[in-house]
């Protein structure tokens, strides 16, 4: 079936010319099976090569032919040990793929210092074939730039996935630990293929039950499936768990009984899951309990948990996503205000996990001002892979350019070139403990992610967590080739369509630095007029601040002064309306409707032009797809086509609703020649 279940690991028979070209280089496979990781590496190569080349690759215990593939480590393979490869600077997870001569035969060697590096190398080797790259003279080496490459599942124990648009949770808690669905193995394969090495199983607000012994056993069963693929299990924990499931009267982090409870809990976990990764914590945020309930700081809370895990090698990923409803203040400033003063106060096994932007995963936000502002604390990136604010499952929006834009943004923290990527890969402030998390878009849908194109967002997240300097365009091309087709007549237009899709969404939803115009609660579709929420900072009107005179949130020095949370030279830029990039204009400034834009248009006309552009871009995407019928299977083709139709209708809805609303506020006429909504 062409239902997308295989993701990018499709391994379908290549074109005859490719098969002919590759077969001589896949004559036999020399691969160990002394460890679970070695076994799955060998299985993956056999499965991939037989699928791509149309016949099974013979296993051999040593090289007997030209075209042998040898995979392993110096410890697992005497042949690799004998080759004296320069593996030193590959780190724990890196690999090398090289065409060499051994035993008098021309072979390909795939080697790591550890089994897991060899597995990553095997997936890369298969990727070369899947994307039809030459493999006759290989000399590749690669290692991840970031240590913890983690999916955060927003799954509740009842099967619901918060902001999940791909069905229910894939964790079947009812049947665990005894039944380990084959799907868990495929999940691990997909993640390992892009270098993901950690998974947080449950949502940050999902309560304390996950820490009960029964659930820990279920988590241990999953860890048992993932281990061979180098993936560790982490859990989101509720700060007040000692009260809820421990029978204590307090969760005060400085209380010795509380500390002892967490230590005992950590010991219990590690007895079940010896390679347990650690805790993810949402504390004092959106109603979740935390150390501030006891007059303590976030550092007190994080350190208490970190101390319980330290002896076992676990980490705490403490989230910076905190804000309280303060109608007169600026929500965007609050995380920085809370955490910046705590820089240097966290224990060594704590990472501070920040969303990419200061508000909440909007189609576009400037980077979070904590990046670059806390040199003594490992800052971990949190991207949202699930498209909460980007059209859920049905709007094909490729998030690669969003991630890339944030990672490439220059914090100017230590002068030019202090990019966000360098903050989170640890190179800017010399941290060895580094991480990147993505809020997963995975569910029980046959295609895992709610749509075929959403799979690309899981893929690009993993690839950028491996190396945050990769180009999102290159990754898109890789993904299209692996997932759909290598035919350039298909690849080129689809990559172009993907690369433009995020900007299109920004244009039809929230152009020029606007944000949070989505209907509160569900976050689907436009509701810029909505002022009904109890909390001021959940109301769209709080964010756009449009009135008869103008529009935008003044975060300059004459407003909330959020600009001064950025490095001084950047703050000066954002404070000056002339120097503020137009894509962030209304994020930083409140401006009159007749403000003159660089195009020469008034702000009002420019806004209308962006909304219209977004709709036209989606029309263009639809046209592109219409010309691609026949290049791929009908099943996936039709679903994408149907979803583009939905997207186009809804882009129009966004445009018309927003323009009508803003016009009702501004009282200004529409630009001459503006085509009225049909």
Q: Name the catalytic one among 388, 405, 478, 554.
A: 388
Token pair listed for 73: 């480590």
- Nearest residue to 299 (alpha-carbon basis) of 376, 203, 381, 207: 376
What gap in Å lies between CA 243 and CA 84, rounded to an integer?
A: 56
Shortest distance in whole angstroms from residue 309 CB to ligand GCU = 22
Q: Among 39, 50, 132, 205, which residue interacts with ligand GCU (rule: CB under 6 A)? A: 205
Report how many residues bind ligand GCU under the rule CB under 6 A.
9
From the CB of residue 475, how many other CB atoms can be counted at a distance below 10 Å?
25
What gap in Å lies between CA 173 and CA 526, rounded to an integer?
A: 36
Query: Which CB atom, from 76 or from 362, has the smaller least distance to ligand GCU?
Result: 362
Q: Where does residue 420 fall: left (phi above 0), alpha (psi -120 to 50 degrees), or beta otherwise?
A: alpha
Query: Which CB atom, from 162 or from 244, has the smaller least distance to ligand GCU?
Result: 162
Are 307 and 342 in contact by the 8 Å Cβ rule? The answer is no
Residue whose tokens read 């691609």: 628
**H-helix or E-strand spanning residue 488:** helix 488-509
Shortest distance in whole angstroms from residue 516 CB to ligand GCU = 10
Shortest distance in whole angstroms from residue 166 CB to ligand GCU = 15
Shortest distance in whole angstroms from residue 406 CB to ligand GCU = 16
Query: Which CB atom, from 258 or from 322, has the smaller least distance to ligand GCU?
Result: 322
Q: What angle do CA 602, 650, 502 make, to 5 degrees?
A: 65
Q: Is 360 a catalytic residue?
A: yes
Shortest distance in whole angstroms from residue 388 CB to ligand GCU = 6
Query: Which CB atom, from 136 or from 286, has the smaller least distance to ligand GCU?
Result: 286
Query: Which CB atom, from 29 or from 148, has the smaller least distance to ligand GCU?
Result: 148
Return the residues of window 280-309 that contact ligand GCU according to CB under 6 A: 282, 286
Q: Which residues contact 470 (CB under 8 A, 6 or more apart)?
A: 463, 464
Q: Examine residue 177 and say whether the peptide bond preceding it is cis (omega within 30 degrees of 0).
A: yes
Q: Which residues contact 324 (CB under 8 A, 6 or more apart)?
A: 334
Q: Among 2, 162, 329, 533, which residue interacts with ligand GCU (rule: CB under 6 A)? A: 162
Rg (CA), the chain: 26
Shortest distance in whole angstroms from residue 439 CB to ligand GCU = 7
Q: Name the catalytic one among 286, 325, 623, 635.
A: 286
What gap in Å lies between CA 390 and CA 501, rounded to an integer?
A: 10
Shortest distance in whole angstroms from residue 304 CB to ligand GCU = 21
Shortest distance in whole angstroms from residue 353 CB to ligand GCU = 10
What gap in Å lies between CA 387 and CA 441, rounded to an integer?
A: 8
From the CB of residue 56, how many other CB atoms can be counted at a distance below 10 Å?
11
Query: Which CB atom, from 221 or from 317, has the smaller least distance to ligand GCU?
Result: 317
Query: Which CB atom, from 31 or from 437, has the smaller least distance to ligand GCU?
Result: 437
- Nearest residue to 545 (alpha-carbon basis) of 388, 368, 321, 327: 327
Alpha helices in 390-485, H assignment, sequence order:
400-408, 420-424, 452-466, 472-483
- Nearest residue to 203 (alpha-carbon basis) of 269, 155, 160: 155
Query: Which CB atom, from 238 or from 589, has the smaller least distance to ligand GCU?
Result: 238
- For residues 112 to 151, the per-residue mask of contacts with ligand GCU, x marking binding by CB under 6 A and - elsewhere, is ----------------------------------------
Shortest distance in whole angstroms from residue 344 CB to ligand GCU = 25
Shortest distance in whole angstroms from residue 379 CB to ligand GCU = 16
- Long-range CB contacts (within 8 A, 24+) of 329-332: 329/560, 330/553, 330/555, 330/559, 330/560, 330/562, 331/359, 331/537, 331/542, 332/358, 332/359, 332/555, 332/560, 332/562
What gap in Å lies between CA 371 and CA 420, rounded to an integer?
A: 6
What gap in Å lies between CA 11 and CA 50, rounded to an integer?
A: 8
* N- to C-terminal Cα separation, the chain: 39
Q: Name the catalytic one among 152, 330, 360, 382.
A: 360
Q: What angle do CA 186, 190, 195 make, to 5 degrees?
A: 140
Burial class of residue 125, CB neighbours in 10 A (0-12, 13-18, 19+): buried
Query: Which CB atom, from 522 or from 596, has the smaller least distance to ligand GCU?
Result: 522
Query: Which CB atom, from 199 or from 639, has the smaller least distance to ligand GCU?
Result: 199
Are 410 and 423 in contact by the 8 Å Cβ rule? The answer is no
Shortest distance in whole angstroms from residue 203 CB to ligand GCU = 7
Which phi and psi angles does 154 have, rounded to 5°?
-100, 50
Q: Is 321 in the site for ligand GCU (CB under 6 A)?
A: yes
Shortest distance in whole angstroms from residue 168 CB to ligand GCU = 16
Distance from chain centroid for Cα 473: 16
Which phi and psi angles does 379 have, rounded to 5°?
-95, 130
Q: Is 330 a catalytic residue?
A: no
Return the residues of window 350-409 that contact ligand GCU according to CB under 6 A: 360, 388
- Catalytic center residues: 286, 360, 388
The footprint of ligand GCU (CB under 6 A) covers 162-163, 204-205, 282, 286, 321, 360, 388
């Amino acid at each position: 079936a062409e239902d997308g279940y295989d993701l990018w690991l499709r391994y379908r028979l290549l074109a005859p010319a490719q098969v002919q070209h590759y077969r001589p280089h896949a004559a036999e496979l020399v691969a160990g099976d002394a460890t679970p990781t070695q076994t799955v590496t060998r299985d993956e190569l056999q499965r991939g090569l037989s699928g791509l080349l149309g016949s099974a690759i013979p296993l051999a215990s040593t090289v007997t032919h030209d075209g042998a593939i040898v995979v392993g480590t110096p410890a697992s393979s005497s042949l690799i040990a004998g080759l004296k490869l320069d593996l030193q600077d590959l780190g724990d997870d890196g690999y090398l793929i090289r065409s060499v001569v051994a035993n008098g035969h021309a072979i390909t060697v795939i080697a790591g210092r550890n089994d897991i590096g060899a597995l990553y190398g095997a997936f890369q080797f298969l990727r070369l074939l899947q994307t039809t790259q030459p493999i006759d003279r290989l000399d590749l080496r690669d290692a991840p730039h970031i240590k913890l490459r983690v999916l955060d599942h927003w799954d509740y124990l009842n099967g619901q996935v918060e902001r999940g648009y791909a069905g229910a949770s894939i964790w079947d808690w009812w049947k665990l630990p005894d039944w380990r669905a084959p799907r868990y193995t495929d999940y691990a394969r997909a993640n390992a293929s892009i270098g993901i090495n950690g998974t947080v199983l449950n949502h940050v607000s999902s309560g304390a039950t996950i820490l009960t012994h029964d659930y820990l056993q279920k988590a241990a069963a999953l860890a048992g499936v993932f281990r061979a693929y180098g993936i560790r299990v982490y859990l989101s924990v509720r700060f007040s768990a000692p009260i809820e499931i421990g029978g204590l009267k307090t969760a005060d982090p400085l209380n010795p009984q509380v500390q002892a409870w967490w230590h005992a809990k950590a010991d219990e976990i590690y007895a079940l899951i010896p390679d347990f990764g650690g805790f993810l914590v949402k504390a004092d945020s959106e109603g979740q309990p935390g150390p501030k309930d006891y007059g303590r700081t976030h550092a007190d809370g994080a350190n208490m948990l970190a101390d319980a895990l330290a002896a076992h090698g676990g980490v705490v990923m403490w989230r910076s996503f905190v804000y309280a409803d303060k109608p007169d203040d600026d929500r965007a400033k609050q995380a920085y205000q809370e955490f910046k003063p705590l820089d240097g106060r966290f224990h060594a096994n704590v990472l501070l996990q920040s969303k990419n932007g200061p508000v909440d995963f909007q189609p576009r936000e400037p980077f979070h001002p904590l990046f670059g502002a806390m040199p003594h604390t490992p800052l971990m990136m949190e991207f949202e892979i699930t498209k909460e604010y980007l059209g859920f499952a049905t709007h094909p929006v490729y998030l690669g350019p969003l991630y890339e834009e944030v990672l490439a943004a220059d914090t100017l923290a230590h002068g030019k070139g202090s990019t966000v990527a360098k903050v989170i890969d640890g190179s800017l402030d010399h941290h060895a403990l580094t991480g990147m998390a993505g809020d997963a878009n995975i569910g029980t849908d046959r295609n895992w992610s709610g749509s075929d194109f959403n799979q690309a967002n899981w893929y690009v997240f993993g690839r950028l967590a491996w190396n945050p300097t990769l180009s999102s365009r290159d990754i898109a091309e890789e993904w299209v080739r692996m997932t759909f087709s290598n035919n350039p007549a298909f690849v080129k237009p689809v990559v172009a369509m993907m690369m433009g899709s995020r900007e299109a969404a920004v244009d039809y939803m929230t152009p020029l630095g606007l944000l949070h115009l989505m209907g509160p609660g569900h976050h689907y579709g436009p509701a810029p007029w909505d002022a009904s929420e109890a909390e001021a900072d959940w109301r769209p009107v709080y964010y756009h601040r449009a009135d008869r005179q103008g529009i935008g949130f003044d975060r300059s020095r004459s407003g909330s002064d959020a600009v001064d949370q950025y490095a001084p030279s950047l703050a000066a830029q954002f404070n000056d309306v002339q120097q503020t990039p137009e894509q962030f204009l209304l994020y930083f400034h409140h401006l009159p409707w007749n403000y003159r834009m660089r195009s020469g248009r008034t702000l009002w006309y420019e806004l209308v032009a962006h909304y219209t552009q977004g709709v036209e871009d989606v029309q263009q995407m639809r046209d592109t797809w219409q010309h691609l019928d026949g290049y791929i299977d009908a099943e996936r083709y039709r679903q994408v086509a149907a979803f583009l139709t939905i997207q186009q209708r809804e882009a129009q809805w966004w445009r018309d609703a927003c323009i009508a609303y803003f016009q009702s506020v501004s009282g200004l006429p529409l630009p001459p020649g503006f085509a009225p909504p049909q």
